[in-house]
Amino acid sequence: MFEGFEAGPIQVGETSVFVRHGGEGPPVLLLHGHPRTSATWHRVAPRLVERGFTVVCPDLRGYGRSRGPAPAEDHSAHSKRAVAGDMAAVMRSLGHSRFALAGHDRGGAVALRLALDHPGAVSHAAIVDCLPISEHLSRVGTEFATQWWHWFFFAQPDIPERVINADPDAWYHGDPESMGRENHDEFREATRNPDVVRAMLEDYRAGLTVDLRHEEADRAAGLRLRCPTLVLWSLRDDLEDLYGDPLAIWRDWADDLRGHGIDSGHHVAEEAPDALAEALGGFFSSPS
């Protein structure tokens, strides 16, 4: 995976962020979702390098090989604001003061926070299979609670750690053929690590508490994404089934919005890398 890329830790404050980066040209930051690592981009990143971009793929705080501070009682140590700060610092350390970014799933929530908190640093924001957390929670009904019950299970204290760590391979399913063997092996190693599991759960606990408060404050203040924003969603996932057109929701958050669905299941970077790289490459090449 990631032939020609450099890989290793970058220390930013209390967090050691494992980062893969390679290529030449305008910088692009790719943020993975739960329960993946930066390896999920192994089919997309080389395609973007071929299109003339510098590509940076980090493991989010506590995921994969990144290590951050211990969980805080109010979950702020794993808030999207804290993780977005990590990502901005990583890009500065690599010499990129302004960059495009894409985030999938939980990485999409980090991408939103990064673009809101550091607007001068973000030229383009692409958000994949994601709505603002507050938009999800304001629409909770029977269907959402049934299909996305894990949000509320993960938020419980201690119990999910005991359940997941008892048999992580049974809990986190991954197919080495569809994921790619090396990506799958990295994912398996991460999900078998109790410290990683705890950090991933803290991500969700922060989502229902501190992250929700941050988004509600943004809406009250009229804060919006000012950069060009691309919203993509997997047609064989349930985002469109639950909410209809995701763009109708994102219009309340972004001034310059575009987007479409991609014929894929949820892990689009692994299942439809050509379509995703084409969409991202074209968008990142557009004027900011």
pTM of the model as a whole: 0.98
Query: Taking 90 as the threshold, does the pLDDT of residue 280 lie above it?
Result: yes
pLDDT classification of 3: cutoffs 50, 70, 90 = very high
Is 42 a residue of the active site? no
Q: Which of 34, 118, 184, 266 is catalytic?
A: 266
pLDDT for 118: 98
* Helix, strand, or coil (residue 193): coil
pLDDT classification of 288: cutoffs 50, 70, 90 = confident
- Condensed to tens digits (0 to 9), the pLDDT of residues 96-138 reads 999 999 999 999 999 999 999 999 999 999 999 999 999 999 9
CA angle (18, 42, 160) in 5-degree steps? 60
Classify domain 6-284 by CATH number: 3.40.50.1820
Is 117 a residue of the active site? no
- Condensed to tens digits (0 to 9), the pLDDT of residues 135-162 reads 999 999 999 999 999 999 999 999 999 9
How many Å apart are CA 234 and CA 282, to the nearest integer?
18
CA angle (259, 286, 113) in 5-degree steps? 60
Rg of the chain, C-alpha, whole Å: 17
Contact call for residues 41 and 66 (beta carbons, < 8 A): no
> To 10 degrees, what angle do helices 194-207 and 80-93 make?
120
Torsion angles phi and psi, residue 99, rounded to 5: -160, 165
Torsion angles phi and psi, residue 34, rounded to 5: -85, 140
- Condensed to tens digits (0 to 9), the pLDDT of residues 42-52 reads 999 999 999 99
Contact call for residues 68 and 78 (beta carbons, < 8 A): yes
Q: Which of 59, 86, 105, 203 is catalytic?
A: 105
